[in-house]
Amino acid sequence: MFRLLEDDRGRMESTVTIEIDGYPVIARIGETVASALLREGASWSRTTPVSGARRAPYCMMGVCFDCLMLVEGEGLVRACQTLVRAGLKVQRQTGPRKVGPSC
Amino acid sequence: MKAGQATTAVIGGGLHGLACALALVQRGQDVVLFERSWIGRRASGATAAGVRTLWRDPAEIGLSLEALERWYRMDALVGDDCGFWAGGQIKVAESHAEMEALAARAARTRDLGFHHEELIDTRELRRLAPMISEHCVGGLIARRDGAADPHRTIAAFRRAVEGHGAVIREGISVMALEPEAGGWRVVTDAGNWAVRHVVNAAGAWGGQVCRMVGEVIRFGYKASMVFVTERVQQAFGPVFSTVGRPLSFKQSSQGTLVVGGGIQGWADLEKGSTQVDFRALSRGAAAAQALFPAIRNVQIVRAWTGLEGKTPDLLPVIGPSARAPGVFHTFGFSGHGFELVPLVGEIIADCIMHGRSRYDIGAFDVARLLT
Amino acid sequence: MLKPDLLIVGAGPAGMSAAIVAARAGLKVVVVDEQPTPGGQIWRGVEANAGTSRGRALGSQYCSGLATVRAFRECGAVYWPSTRVWQIEPTLGTYVTGPGGTRVIAPRLVLIATGAQERPAPFRGWTLPGVMTVGAAQILLKNPGSVPSEPVWIAGCGPLALLYAHQLIRMGGAVAGFLDTRPSTPLRESLRLAGRAVLRSSGELAKGMSWYAGLRHRAGRYVPGVVDLQALGTDRLEGVRYRTAAGRLAEIRTSLLLVHEGVLPELHTARSLGCEIQWDAGQAAYRPVLNEWGECSHPDILIAGDAAGIGGAEAAVHRGRLSALRILQRLGKVAAEPGMTEESCRAALARALALRPFLDRVFRPRGEIFAPDDDTIVCRCEELRVRDLRTVLAGSVGPNQLKAFTRAGMGSCQGRQCGLTVAALIAAAEGRQMGEVQPFRVRPPLKPVRLCDLAGLADEGLSS
């Protein structure tokens, strides 16, 4: 849905690679997981625990909670408040989150 | 019913007040119920809503088992199952010493002639709770216990009460009770009512209503806290408590985890205000995490503090007033009255209409608390 | 336990400005902010952007934030970024969670400077991926510098929507169309308000007019008088249907729609402490009841910036300073800067607010956003529609129990997206004014907190 501005293309030294649902996603250092997600083809972040409807980041400032994603080691957190870091593993959340030994 | 006149006035719009009103109106009485704020505002709206016969005081076991049967027939009583779900209640032992305490309890309960509590070993505990921490060694279970949805319960009782024609007056405070010929004058901040009987179902304020009719009792209050998490996939069938920590843990039908256990917050009875004490509540979170390490990352989204009456022996006050004929009490459930709701209304109605209940309520006599 | 003189919640214009005055005067100040860098929403990322082409495109008002951020960094206040305040007790015991874990601090006074959020304005389909707020898109513009990949449709009313369109175009993005939901304002009234404002803020006004003019020229299409929106699509946005005041229905194809209907003060923090609020009809928003220093009904809490009522960044700076001056007074200190006086701050605040009545009137949201139709989702978290809430309100359940019986406002956002609409539905159902109904009671925690973060406090208790 979004693209980086021309002036910022090719600045590879300031990027890291994160994983969303197992796929590598290149992100700019200092941006949030939600912001990186919104440049992906499928930019939805979760399906709701109530009806299973898809949601995507909506407010980007931490007040709508529609960008909740499962971040390894942290649980279900607001992707718009989570900074990217190299190797960060993120999953779209489908329905209510699981709890289990690996979560 | 004429405004200002009724057979019975119920003071308090919590579940016990509603249940009394329902039982009375079903038996043909004119009933008016006064609630100072709104229906279910206090303990009834704040409860974790466990339907529990497990680990009851021996004096309460008989009543709680009778009440449990009514939970299985709730639909017939109020036209809704109130979200009751019988996943069992388990008291978990975290050490062998605690397991011995559970065994002793089980033996004592059996000796009293009750067979609803059953000792389970590690294997059965893990079968029922696959995510329970390795260190837990066993438990005591009441398999027919469970939990309900408190708000659905309040809504169902309210609908039933109003459906049968009782009058609910919210936002009205009862200021005084004055004896008059043939009954009582209920003085409220919105006029007086003449009634034959009064039911005191005022919860944390039950002691104040006692004082209105000349009964001064030893009585306190509880400000128990509960917190609720985000929704997670269904993974916990039974309700869990522990021997050695303050914890009650369950998963609601929506998937949220509901954690309580009687940890006390702050309350001001006069102002009716409450406050969550997260420092204290952290012990509940620690206990939940110790039992189920897999939930450590789950987000807590709401916490609150309820206000509930508490007696010195933690048993409720159920039955006629010791000093004021025509006044009946049902309050002071000390944090475990939810399960008893569908039975106690009936008991009070029988006391009012037939002068006695067929259940033994001797242990709950208000006289024991008089100063 | 840390016991500062002053805890400031929020490192935007108001919070930083207050921190600078208070810390320079010798107070022990702690500033907690959810973002990784200071600046709030308005000056988000200004340290990285100022002096770059992106900064220039974002504008001089944006870049002017750098001076405040630098002064804040050097003022001596303890600054905890990426940290959430999730509970303030009436006795001011404050629980925060951040990179340093969970901590409890006990300040003598608290200044709430938590800013604003965009006004939730539900319409059918507003939960679809592809519908976002203008504010969200502006955040992406500031960091990392993302623009919509296709020419974008914007629908809304308010200065931020115009500003964003202006910035986007300057950065090389494109606006496919602008659905202007601003109701037409009676000419005489606008002129009267503008007349007064023009004298004091002609520059501002001219800038705003030029944004409008630029938009009319450079947006692919400009549609005035839009009164109703519907986002179309099943799994994602595919199109938008709109209706104008003249009754014209039209449909466009797009995969991204940015919406904006003004901003609201952040009230959760203040309301969790029982601070009194009131309905501000001019701003169509609830705001805290405050005196001229930003003191509220709680004796030890002050509120500054947009959280005190929408005023914009410049007003926030002066409100922050005024609150700080009051705090110094109460704690027996004086400001270190000679020019930092009550009089100068009040004069500057008045200048900063001169245009506000005009803006409030011209961009007053249309009434329709408070009365969405039956099919519209109100509570995004629990997916409750207007119909669900109206049904309950029509029954014997009163507004106090609406939340308990429907779960509206019980999800993760804790009522931040549905609170205002629910209050409006209650008011409508009972034939009352907004000022006569209260939004949801706020339950702690202010933001969700992980179980392990709360449990960690128990260990701390054991060790101490």
CA–CA gap between residue C4 and residue C27 (Å, rounded): 8
pLDDT by residue (tens digit) across B80-106? 999 999 999 999 999 999 999 999 999
Confidence (pLDDT) at B3: 65
Local confidence band at C398 (pLDDT 50, 70, 90 cut-offs): low
Interacting residues of C400 by C-beta distance below 8 A, sequence separation 6+: B37, B38, B41
Chain C nearest CA to B293, separation (Å): 9
Instruction: Report whether B170 contacts B13 (CB < 8 A).
Output: yes
Confidence (pLDDT) at C424: 95
CA–CA gap between residue C58 and residue C458 (Å, rounded): 46
Which of B37, B282, B304 comes nearest C454 by C-beta? B282
Say whether B279 and C457 touch across the interface (CB within 8 A).
yes
Q: Name all chains with 3 or more CB-CB pairs below 8 Å to chain B.
A: A, C
Q: Taking residues C26-49, what's their average pLDDT?
A: 97
Contacts of C447 in chain A (CB under 8 A): 62
Mean pLDDT of chain B: 97
Q: Taking residues C121-145, what's their average pLDDT?
A: 97
| Residue C109: strand pairing partners | C6
Instruction: Report whether A91 contacts A69 (CB < 8 A).
Output: yes
Phi, psi of B141 (to 5 degrees): -125, 145
| Residue B302: strand pairing partners | B228
Q: Which amino acid is at B253?
A: S
pLDDT by residue (tens digit) across A31-51? 999 999 999 988 999 999 999
Local confidence band at C194 (pLDDT 50, 70, 90 cut-offs): confident
CA–CA gap between residue A78 and residue C204 (Å, rounded): 36
Q: Which residue of A has its CA nearest to C42?
A: A61
Q: Enumerate long-range contacts of B189-192, CB under 8 Å, 24 or more apart.
A: B191/B4, B192/B4
In chain A, DSSP finds a helix count (H) and a strand count (E) of 1, 9
On whether any CB of chain B is under 8 Å from the CB of C446, the answer is: no
User: Quick one: tokens of A26?
Assistant: 């290149």
Q: What domains appear along chain A, each with residue ranges and CATH number?
A: 4-91 (3.10.20.440)
CA–CA gap between residue C234 and residue C237 (Å, rounded): 7
CA–CA gap between residue B63 and residue B166 (Å, rounded): 26
Q: Taking residues B11-28, what's their average pLDDT?
A: 98
Confidence (pLDDT) at C208: 83
Say whether A4 and C411 touch across the interface (CB within 8 A).
no
On whether any CB of chain C is under 8 Å from the CB of A33, the answer is: no
Q: Which residue of C has its CA nearest to B284?
A: C455
User: Quick one: tokens of B122?
Assistant: 């590690």
Say whether A75 and B231 touch across the interface (CB within 8 A).
no
**The pLDDT of residue C197 is above 80:** no
Q: Which of A79, A90, A95 is nearest to A33 (CA)?
A: A79
On whether any CB of chain B is under 8 Å from the CB of C455, the answer is: yes
| Residue B169: strand pairing partners | B34
Say whether A75 and B235 touch across the interface (CB within 8 A).
no
Say whether B301 and C410 touch across the interface (CB within 8 A).
yes
Chain B nearest CA to A76, separation (Å): 7
Instruction: Report whether C253 contacts C238 (CB < 8 A).
Output: yes
Which of A56, A66, A83 comes nearest C36 by C-beta? A83
> H or E segment at C146?
strand C146-148
* C-interface mutation test, from A16, A31, A38, most C Cβ less than 10 A away: A38
Q: Which amino acid is at B120?
A: I
Say whether C445 and B300 touch across the interface (CB within 8 A).
yes
pLDDT by residue (tens digit) across B37-56? 999 999 999 999 999 999 99
pLDDT by residue (tens digit) across B246-260? 999 999 999 999 999
Interacting residues of A27 by C-beta distance below 8 A, sequence separation 6+: A15, A16, A17, A18, A33, A35, A36, A84
Burial (CB count <10 Å: 0-12, 13-18, 19+), residue C348: middle
Which of C89, C444, C448 comes nearest B230 by C-beta? C448
Confidence (pLDDT) at A7: 63
On whether any CB of chain C is under 8 Å from the CB of A44, the answer is: yes
Interface B-C: count of C-beta contacts within 8 A: 103
Contacts of B235 in chain A (CB under 8 A): 98-100
Confidence (pLDDT) at C464: 42
Confidence (pLDDT) at C193: 75
Instruction: Report whether B33 contacts B1 (CB < 8 A).
Output: no
CA–CA gap between residue C254 and residue C178 (Å, rounded): 13
Between CA C140 and CA C149, with CA C145 as vertex, the angle to 5 degrees is 80
Which stretches within B213-277 are classed as H helix? none
Instruction: Report whether B258 contacts B251 (CB < 8 A).
Output: yes
Which of B168, B275, B285 comes nearest C451 by C-beta? B285
The separation between the first and the last C-alpha atoms of chain A, rounded to the nearest angstrom, is: 30
Q: Taking residues B347-366, what's their average pLDDT?
A: 97
Task: Name the one residue in this structure whose structure tokens are 């509120």.
Answer: C303
Q: DSSP letter string over B277-341?
A: -HHHHHHHHHHHHHH-GGGTTPEEEEEEE--EEE-TTS--EEEE-SSSTTEEEEE--TT--GGGH
Say whether B303 and C444 touch across the interface (CB within 8 A).
yes
* B-interface mutation test, from C95, C382, C454, most B Cβ less than 10 A away: C454
Mean pLDDT of chain C: 94
* C-interface mutation test, from B253, B300, B305, most C Cβ less than 10 A away: B300
Confidence (pLDDT) at C463: 45
Interacting residues of B325 by C-beta distance below 8 A, sequence separation 6+: none
- Cβ neighbour number for residue C38 with a 10 Å cutoff: 26
pLDDT by residue (tens digit) across C203-233? 888 888 888 888 888 888 999 999 999 999 9
Say whether A100 and B230 touch across the interface (CB within 8 A).
no
Q: Nearest 10 degrees: CA dihedral of B308, B312, B316, B320?
A: -120
Q: Name all chains with 3 or more CB-CB pairs below 8 Å to chain C.
A: A, B
Between CA C255 and CA C266, with CA C260 as vertex, the angle to 5 degrees is 130
Interacting residues of C95 by C-beta distance below 8 A, sequence separation 6+: B278, C85, C86, C87, C88, C102, C103, C104, C445, C449, C457
Say whether C448 and B300 touch across the interface (CB within 8 A).
yes
- Cβ neighbour number for residue C102 with a 10 Å cutoff: 22
User: Quick one: tokens of C52?
Assistant: 């770059």
Q: Which of B210, B205, B242 is nearest to B222 (CA)?
A: B205
Give the predicted TM-score (pTM) of the model: 0.96
Contacts of B282 in chain C (CB under 8 A): 454-458, 461
Instruction: Report whether A27 contacts A18 (CB < 8 A).
Output: yes
Contacts of A3 in chain C (CB under 8 A): 146-149
Q: Which of B222, B202, B246, B220 is nearest to B305 (CA)?
A: B222
CA–CA gap between residue C312 and residue C283 (Å, rounded): 13
Say whether C448 and B299 touch across the interface (CB within 8 A).
yes
Instruction: Report whether B77 contacts B227 (CB < 8 A).
Output: no
Contacts of A9 in chain C (CB under 8 A): none
On whether any CB of chain C is under 8 Å from the CB of A60, the answer is: yes
Say whether C443 and B45 touch across the interface (CB within 8 A).
no
Say whether B285 and C458 touch across the interface (CB within 8 A).
yes
Q: Which of B229, B245, B243, B258 is nearest to B87 (CA)?
A: B258
Confidence (pLDDT) at A103: 57
Instruction: Report whether B227 contacts B36 (CB < 8 A).
Output: no
Say whether C401 and B281 touch across the interface (CB within 8 A).
no
Say whether B233 and A96 touch across the interface (CB within 8 A).
yes
* B-interface mutation test, from C96, C391, C450, C451, most B Cβ less than 10 A away: C451
* A-interface mutation test, from C37, C124, C138, C139, most A Cβ less than 10 A away: C139
CA–CA gap between residue C99 and residue C80 (Å, rounded): 9
On whether any CB of chain A is under 8 Å from the CB of C10, the answer is: no
pLDDT by residue (tens digit) across B208-245? 999 999 999 999 999 999 999 999 999 999 999 999 99
- Cβ neighbour number for residue C3 with a 10 Å cutoff: 12
Confidence (pLDDT) at A102: 59
Contacts of C380 in chain A (CB under 8 A): 55, 58, 64, 66
Instruction: Say what the ipTM of the complex is.
Output: 0.96
User: Phi/psi class of residue C95: alpha, beta or left (left: φ > 0; alpha: ψ in -120 to 50)?
Assistant: beta
pLDDT by residue (tens digit) across C78-132? 999 999 999 999 999 999 999 989 999 999 999 999 999 999 999 999 999 999 9
Q: DSSP letter string over B48-84?
A: --EE--TT--HHHHHHHHHHHHHHHTHHHHHSS-TT-
Say whether A75 and B232 touch across the interface (CB within 8 A).
no
Lowest mean pLDDT among A7-16, A94-103, B75-84: A7-16
Q: Taking residues C345-349, what's their average pLDDT?
A: 98
Confidence (pLDDT) at C394: 86
Within 13 Å of residue B152, how many CA atoms lie on the same side as its CB?
17
Chain C nearest CA to B151, separation (Å): 6
Chain C nearest CA to B358, separation (Å): 34
Local confidence band at B133 (pLDDT 50, 70, 90 cut-offs): very high
Task: Name the one residue in this structure whose structure tokens are 């006390």.
Answer: B264
On whether any CB of chain B is under 8 Å from the CB of C404, the answer is: yes
**The pLDDT of residue C413 is above 50:** yes
Helix (H, G, I), strand (E, B) or coil at C282: coil
Instruction: Report whether A58 contacts C132 (CB < 8 A).
Output: yes
**The pLDDT of residue C462 is above 70:** no
